[in-house]
Amino acid sequence: MPVFTTKRVPRSVVVAVAAVPLVGGCAKAPSIGVLGAYFPDWLFCIAAGVVLTVALYLILKRLQADRLPGPSAVVYPALVTFFSLAAWLLLFQH
pLDDT digits (tens, 9 = 90+) for 9-39: 778 877 877 777 776 665 666 677 677 777 7
> How high is the pLDDT of residue 68?
72
CB atoms closer than 10 angstroms to residue 84: 20
The number of distinct structural domains making up the chain is: 1
Given this model, what pLDDT does residue 64 score?
84
Domain extent at residue 50: 30-92
pLDDT at 4: 62
Residue 18: inside a domain: no
Does 81 fall in a domain? yes
What is the four-CA torsion angle of 68, 66, 51, 89, rounded to 10 degrees? 10
Contact, 48 vs 84, CB < 8 A?
A: yes
Tell me whether residue 25 is in a domain: no
